[in-house]
């Protein structure tokens, strides 16, 4: 009986021990996984600790370490929306370029207005229409802004206004320039009155008459007809004096061929190749001339394609263009601007309709009136006779006493306009 009881009690003591071991072995993988997870979480959270602000001696080292790029980059604080841009930040980068460009255009701080609404900064910019047109000013502004790293967002034209919008990479700000023509804003600006005098038709005259014309102030510009006996000698002598000269290029007038502009004229029916060949021949013959103006050309200067071909040649040769304005509907000046070459316009013919004292009085009065809105004027006269020389000498004496300063052609009007990049 005692043996039977022993055999029955021993198994009951062993069974709980085996179950406990199995249970402990089943929890071990989960415990290990939990430890691994905690270690992983700790490692992931380590970069956050490096973003905390350094203390003590480490705070002094932090700026140097950040600049060297060895430490993890810290967070940048986002400025408040109403906080003005700090000097040197991206938001302020285009401001100096805009102000500098407006100064180049002759627009003083008292003339333009600046407004900021949200992320848009707008400049209201009046331009002197006697010096600029919107197309030319547009090109200058666009070139300066692109040079500063800006991109044109939009360009909208409304009547006599243009709205040019620019942005910078990584900036939410848009800079808008509203440009428009308003000469009234410039009336109170004190400016020197200048007059450039161009004498046409040199090339045929020589001898003492040419010598006496060469005795005129060196600021007087000579326009020389190509292909005549005295064309090259006149150019050489003018250049030796430091005097500017231009080629007086014959162009087709209304009424051609009854009205003859002379040999080597640029005609409307010419092809582009013929125009290039003709004009290149004239420029090669008179290489010291700094540009051209048209002789006659009341028809040719109204033809856009003809003038476009002419301006392309001048651009390639780095020459200027003076529109003699023998037609009220000439497109020559605007085509010269589109070609991005120095462009000028004649304002008055001094010896038309005659060279009487009464006519001189009328011309001086007209120039005085024109100078109220445009202080930089250009006048054309001719060199055919000694009477015309005497008339011009007397005119120069009177116009200088009237307060005008004589300047070479290249220093008139467009001299104050910055070049397009």
Q: How is 394-412 classified by DSSP, letter by letter?
A: HHHHHHHHTT-EE--GGGS
The larger pLDDT score, comparing residue 11 to residue 331, is at 331
In terms of average pLDDT, the best of 22-36, 75-89, 147-161 is 147-161
Show Cβ contacts of residue 298 under 8 Å, excluding neighbours closer than 6 positions. 253, 254, 326, 327
Q: For residue 331, is pLDDT > 90?
A: yes
**What is the fold of 90-184?**
Beta Polymerase; domain 2 (3.30.460)
Under DSSP, is residue 420 helix (H, G, I), strand (E, B) or coil?
coil
pLDDT of residue 247: 98
pLDDT of residue 177: 95
- How do 348-349 and 194-202 pair as beta strands? unpaired
For 294-329, write each residue's pLDDT tens digit. 999 999 999 999 999 999 999 999 999 999 999 999
pLDDT of residue 135: 80
Q: For residue 199, is pLDDT > 80?
A: yes
User: pLDDT exceeding 70 applies to what percent of the chain?
Assistant: 76
pLDDT of residue 51: 40
Q: For residue 49, is pLDDT > 70?
A: no
The pLDDT-based confidence of 7 (bands split at 50, 70, 90) is very low
The pLDDT-based confidence of 1 (bands split at 50, 70, 90) is very low
Strand ranges of the sheet holding 120-127, from the earlier edge strand across to the other edge? 113-117, 120-127, 174-181, 161-167, 151-158
**Does an H or E element contain 175, and which?**
strand 174-181
Pick from 56-60, 132-136, 225-229, 391-395: least confident: 56-60
Pick from 80-89, 150-159, 211-220: least confident: 80-89
Q: For residue 113, is pLDDT > 80?
A: yes
pLDDT of residue 191: 67
For 176-193, write each residue's pLDDT tens digit. 999 998 877 776 655 689
For 396-413, write each residue's pLDDT tens digit. 999 999 999 999 999 986
pLDDT of residue 65: 42
Q: b/e map of 159-198 (b: 16 or more CB within 10 Å)?
A: eeebebbbbbeebebbbbbbbbbeeebbeeeeeebbbbbb
pLDDT of residue 75: 39
**Does an H or E element contain 363, and which?**
helix 357-370
Q: For residue 69, is pLDDT > 50?
A: no
Q: How is 101-149 classified by DSSP, letter by letter?
A: HHHHTT--TTT-EEEEETTEEEEEEEE-TTT--HHHHHHHHHHHHHHTT
Q: Assign domain 194-416 to its CATH superfamily.
A: Glycoside hydrolase/deacetylase (3.20.20.370)
Across the range 99-107, mean pLDDT stands at: 89
Q: Distance from CA of residue 2 to its chain's centroid?
A: 119
pLDDT of residue 68: 39
Q: For residue 195, is pLDDT > 70?
A: yes
What's 283-304 look like in SS3?
A: HHHCCCCCEEEEEECCCHHHCH
- How do 120-127 and 174-181 pair as beta strands? parallel
Q: What value does the mean pLDDT of the chain take?
A: 83
CA distance 197 to 384: 16
Q: For residue 159, is pLDDT > 90?
A: no
CA distance 210 to 213: 5
Across the range 128-154, mean pLDDT stands at: 87
Under DSSP, is residue 185 helix (H, G, I), strand (E, B) or coil?
helix
The larger pLDDT score, comparing residue 105 to residue 259, is at 259
Cα dist. 260→17, 251, 280, 296, 325 in Å?
A: 130, 9, 21, 9, 18
The torsion angles phi and psi of 6, rounded to 5 degrees, stand at: -65, -40
The pLDDT-based confidence of 24 (bands split at 50, 70, 90) is low
For 70-89, write each residue's pLDDT tens digit. 333 433 333 433 344 444 44
Count how many residues are written for the chain: 421
Q: For residue 213, is pLDDT > 90?
A: yes
Cα dist. 125→110, 144, 179, 180, 391 in Å?
A: 11, 16, 5, 6, 43
Under DSSP, is residue 40 helix (H, G, I), strand (E, B) or coil?
helix
CA distance 172 to 177: 17
The torsion angles phi and psi of 77, rounded to 5 degrees, stand at: -75, 135
- Contact assessment for residue 100 and residue 177, using Cβ atoms and an 8 Å cutoff: no
- Secondary structure percentages of the chain, helix, strand, coil, to 5: 45, 20, 35
The pLDDT-based confidence of 420 (bands split at 50, 70, 90) is low
The pLDDT-based confidence of 104 (bands split at 50, 70, 90) is confident
- How do 120-127 and 113-117 pair as beta strands? antiparallel
pLDDT of residue 43: 66
Q: How is 69-113 classified by DSSP, letter by letter?
A: T-SPPPPPPPPPTTSPPPTTSGGGTHHHHHHHHHHHTT--TTT-E
For 222-261, write each residue's pLDDT tens digit. 999 999 999 999 999 999 999 999 999 999 999 999 999 9
Domain assignments of the chain as residue spans, ordered by start: 90-184, 194-416
Under DSSP, is residue 159 helix (H, G, I), strand (E, B) or coil?
coil
């Amino acid at each position: 009986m005692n043996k039977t009881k022993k055999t029955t009690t021993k198994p009951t003591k062993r069974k709980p021990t085996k179950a406990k071991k199995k249970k402990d072995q089943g929890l071990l993988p989960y415990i290990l996984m939990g430890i691994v997870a905690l270690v992983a979480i700790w490692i992931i959270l380590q970069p956050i600790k490096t973003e905390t602000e350094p203390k003590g001696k480490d705070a002094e080292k932090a700026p140097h370490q950040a600049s060297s790029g060895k430490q993890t980059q810290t967070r940048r604080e986002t400025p408040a929306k109403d906080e003005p841009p700090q000097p040197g930040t991206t938001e302020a980068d285009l401001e100096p370029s805009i102000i500098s460009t407006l100064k180049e255009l002759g627009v003083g701080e008292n003339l333009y207005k600046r407004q900021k609404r949200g992320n848009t900064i707008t400049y209201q910019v009046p331009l002197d229409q006697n010096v600029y047109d919107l197309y030319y000013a547009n090109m200058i502004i666009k070139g300066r802004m692109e040079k500063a790293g800006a991109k044109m967002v939009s360009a909208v034209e409304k009547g006599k206004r243009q709205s040019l919008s620019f942005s910078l990479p990584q900036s939410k700000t848009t800079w808008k320039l509203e440009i428009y023509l308003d000469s009234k804003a410039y009336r109170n600006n004190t400016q020197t009155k200048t007059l450039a005098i161009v004498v046409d038709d040199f090339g045929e005259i020589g001898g003492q008459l040419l010598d006496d014309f060469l005795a005129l102030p060196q600021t007087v510009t000579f326009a020389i007809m190509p292909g005549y006996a005295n064309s090259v000698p006149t150019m050489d002598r003018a250049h030796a004096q430091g005097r500017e000269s231009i080629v007086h290029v014959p162009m087709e007038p209304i009424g051609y061929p009854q009205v003859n502009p002379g040999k080597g004229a640029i005609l409307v029916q010419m092809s582009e190749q013929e125009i290039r060949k003709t004009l290149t021949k004239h420029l090669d013959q008179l290489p010291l001339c700094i540009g051209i103006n048209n002789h006659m050309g009341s028809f040719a200067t109204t033809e856009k394609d003809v003038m476009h071909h002419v301006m392309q040649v001048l651009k390639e040769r780095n020459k200027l263009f003076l529109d003699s304005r023998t037609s009220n509907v000439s497109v020559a000046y605007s085509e010269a601007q589109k070609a991005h070459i120095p462009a000028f316009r004649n304002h008055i013919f001094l010896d038309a309709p005659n060279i009487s004292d009464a006519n001189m009085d009328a011309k001086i009065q007209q120039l005085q009136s024109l100078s109220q809105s445009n202080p930089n004027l250009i006048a054309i006269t001719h060199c055919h006779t000694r009477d015309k020389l005497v008339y011009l000498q007397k005119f120069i004496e009177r116009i200088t006493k009237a307060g005008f300063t004589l300047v070479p052609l290249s220093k008139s009007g467009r001299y104050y306009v910055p070049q397009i990049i």
